[in-house]
Structure 1
Amino acid sequence: MRALCIGGTGVISSAVAELAVRRGWEVIALNRGNREVPAGVMSWQADIRQEREVAALVERESFDVVMDFIAYTREDVERDWRIFRGKTKQYIFISSASAYQKPLTDYVVNESTPLANPYWQYSRDKIACEDFLMNKYREEGFPVTVVRPSHTYCERSVPVGVQGKNGSWQVLKRMLDGKAVIVHGDGTSLWTMTHSTDFAKGFVGLMANPHVLGHAIQITSDESMSWNQIYSCIAQALEVPFRPVYVPSALLAGSQFYDFKGNLLGDKAHSIVFDNAKLKHFVPGFTATISMREGITAAVSYVVAHPENQIEDPEFDGWCDQVISGLDGLRAII
């Protein structure tokens, strides 16, 4: 079986490519060649945005699966459709669980939950991609499968709710320095995070599966934690106290310095529990085996042991101090 992976070096795509190779797939990663592809993956160096170049590259090729991990807009999937129609038995589009309606009418989410997100352009773009591809499936049988991941992570980055432009390390550094950290809301909303290796098990099970053409399928863990529990796991892994300062999500979304509106009001501020019955129907035996505590602890250990992952963000650190001190003044007035 032969798969073309557009991307192949990111958190999700590298885990999928690695597992597919272990299961006997011939996997080709098409990307600009800026990062090393996983072991056993063949590399084609090209920029998918250069449509004529890529079309010429694959002119005499055919694939069992084409999967695009870097398609974000309708224009991206329109280009893929033009290039790969007639050249693949299955095209897998990676959408996002953030596309589900916000605010939610039911905290239990499945594939029939409506798609609508007025807070985040990223999510609306993913919805537009899904609409185009499903129309092509209905009109001409274009063999699309839509996959909706939620918060998927790996050992290279510790997942948090509020962070700056340089990633999550500055949040961990604040904990190590004995500082308080900002937690959106009151920390009690439920959230689900999925380790990339667990996500890959579900994804590879959908590859070349004729029963999933024309379907949208979410892939997440079945476990949920409150944000207080998530941050507590991080603090315990660092062996430091958890010192939260709770800030309303709506207040954070109004920041003049950081764009938290989509990330919070359009996603993380809502309690979400995923129903993965549809995935388990198509991929019998699927289960996410890395618990959130286990995955978070492993990610903390990895980042602490690898200085190259410790990208400091003094701007975000100073912003946190200002927000926290402003809240202290507000509390004094109240």
Structure 2
Amino acid sequence: MRVLFLGGAGMIGSAAAREAVARGADVTIVTRSAPVRPPAEGVRSLRADVRDAAALASALGGEEFDAVVNWVGFTPDDVRDHRELFAGRAGQYVFISTCSVFGRPVPLLPITESSPRRQPHFGYARDKIACELLLEEAYREAGFPLTIVRPFHTYDRTVIPVLAGWTAIERMRAGRPVVVHGDGTSLWSLTHSRDFARAFVPLLGNGQAIGESVNVVSGAILTWDQIHLALAAAAGVREPVLRHRSSESIAELVPGWRDVLEHDFRHSMLFDTSKLRALVPGFAPEVSFAQGAREVLAHYDAHPGLRVVDEDLDRAFDGLLEA
């Protein structure tokens, strides 16, 4: 199978490329500059601006692909020319969207692919919805071979999946309280990039996925307290001190968190993975968050330059606790 990645040199794209090559696919990635993460062995790299249709067409020549995956479509202008560019050239066009397109709070849990899409606040998610609608129109009107894939909160060893990042770890190791939004019991889902790749790659070249949207998530259910406790255990902290404050009070002292708390993290996000499991029979996540957290802490402990405390955030936490 010949697969083209438009972008795809980031965390989940790199994992997907490794998985695709391991399954025998012939993978080409197109990036504007040299990827920060070196491509997996066996991946062919091309240089072109994927948002410039003429430059992309020139770089690809007359090549055809079984699947084209667009990792870097963020606005309608980024994908507007792809209907014409890849018509007859791609057996499948996979648009990487996001589960952030679903309105908050979700009116009915668990979330399915048909849950309402609405995001008036986050520009990123609002633009992804616009991209989805534009490409869905191409599918309906011209049979454009579209599949929409929506990751959720995905991480690997390089990502501490809490807003406070290393500051939270440092505070826990020092025996100092860490602030958790709300009462710590809202439901969340984390997916390791390796599990994402294992679920995603079988969708490529899968004719049953054409015309469909698929939420590619682990389906694991965690509370925000459990996420912090797993990170604490991986950091060697037996009895971390967690303190709970409302999203509103946190946003007063950490204004940069206001939107993500108000419109995202404060809401429970629970997913029905029936469609994913129907399209990828036998899929089940293999990396528990306990294991993933150990990988994260091992990586950060091995790289001192990553262990940076945000002094402003550290003071804000102290202010919230004093209040």
TM-score of the superposed pair, with normalisation by structure 1 = 0.90
TM-aligned CA deviation for residue 213 of structure 1: 0.6
Query: What is the CA–CA distance in structure 1 between the aligned matches of 2:12 and 2:82, rounded to whole Å?
Result: 19
Partner of residue 250 from structure 1, selected from 245, 248, 251: 248
**What is aligned with 1:123?**
125
Q: Does the residue aligned with 1:246 lie in a helix, a strand or coil?
A: strand
1:80 matched to 2:82: yes
- Structure 2 equivalent of residue 332 of structure 1: none
CA distance in 2, matches of 1:78, 1:311: 40
* Residue type at the aligned position of 2:116: P
Find the counterpart in structure 2 of residue 8 from structure 1: 8
Q: How does 1:14-163 map to 2 (within 5 A)?
A: 14-31=14-31, 32-35=33-36, 36-160=38-162, 162-163=163-164
Q: 1:189 aligns with which of 177, 186, 189?
A: 186
Q: What per-residue deviation string (whole Å, max 9, x for no partner) do you get for residues 20-74 of structure 1? A: 0000001011112142212221111222233321121123111111111121111
CA distance in 1, matches of 2:252, 2:319: 15
1:310 — aligned with what? 307
CA separation in 1, counterparts of 2:185 and 2:255? 26
Q: How many Å separate the matches in 2 of 1:155 and 1:80? A: 33
* 29-38 or 19-28: bigger deviation: 29-38
The answer as to whether partners of 2:9 and 2:35 remain within 8 angstroms in 1 is no
2:213 & 2:110 partners in 1: Cα distance?
17
Task: State which of 222, 225, 239 in structure 1 corresponds to 2:222.
Answer: 225
The SS at the match of 1:108 is coil
| In 2, Cα distance between equivalents of 1:7 and 1:253 | 34
2:319 & 2:4 partners in 1: Cα distance?
A: 48
The letter for the 2-side match of 1:243 is V
CA contact (8 A) 1:90 1:144 kept: yes
Query: Shift of the alpha carbon at 1:255?
Result: 5.6
Structure 1 residues 287, 170: CA separation in 2 closer, same or farther (over 3 Å shift)?
same
One-letter amino acid of the structure 2 residue matched with residue 249 of structure 1: S
With over 3 angstroms needed to count, the CA separation of the structure-2 counterparts of 1:256 and 1:313, relative to structure 1, is: closer
**Deviation, structure 1 residue 199:** 0.7
- Give the Cα separation in 1 of the matches to 2:90 and 2:28: 14
How far, CA to CA, are the matches of 1:27 and 1:33 in structure 2? 16
Residues 250 and 106 from structure 1, CA distance in 2 versus in 1: closer, same or farther, beyond 3 angstroms?
farther
CA distance in 2 between counterparts of 1:202 and 1:55 reads 30
Q: Report how far residue 277 of structure 1 moved.
A: 0.5
Q: CA deviation at 1:100?
A: 1.0
AA aligned opposite 2:243: V
8 Å CA contact 2:172–2:240 kept in 1: the answer is yes
2:279 maps to which of 275, 278, 282: 282
Partner of 1:234: 231
Change (3 A) 1:82 1:181: farther
Indicate conservation of the 8 Å contact 1:33/1:46, yes or no: no
Provide, for residues 148-189 of structure 1, a one-character-per-residue CA deviation record: whole Å limited to 9, x for no partner: 1110111111211x23xxxx1222122223322221111011
Computed over aligned residues only, the root mean square deviation of the Cα atoms, in angstroms, reads 1.7
Once residues 3 and 280 of structure 2 are traced to their aligned partners in structure 1, the CA distance between those partners, rounded to angstroms, is 19
Change (3 A) 1:122 1:173: same
Q: Are the equivalent residues in 2 in contact too, given 1:9–1:38 (CA < 8 A)?
A: no
Asked if structure 2 preserves the Cα contact closer than 8 Å seen for 1:8 and 1:69, the reply is: yes
Alignment-mate amino acid for residue 260 of structure 1: R
Q: Which residue pairs with 2:266 in the alignment?
A: 269
Structure 1: distance between partners of 2:147 and 2:79: 13
How many residue pairs get aligned? The number is 320
Offset of residue 3 of structure 1: 0.8
Give the whole-Å Cα distance in 1 for the aligned partners of 2:98 and 2:73. Answer: 11
Counterpart of 2:256 in 1: which secondary structure?
Answer: coil
> How many Å apart are 1:242 and its aligned residue?
1.8
Cα distance in 2 for residues equivalent to 1:205 and 1:124: 28
Unaligned stretches of 5+ residues in structure 1: 329-334
24 and 95 in structure 1: CA distance in 2 versus 1, 3 angstrom threshold? same
TM-score (norm 2): 0.93
The one-letter amino acid of 1:206's match is L
Using the TM superposition, give the Cα deviation of residue 289 of structure 1 relative to its aligned residue in structure 2, in angstroms.
1.3
User: Structure 1 residue 259: deviation in Å?
Assistant: 4.2
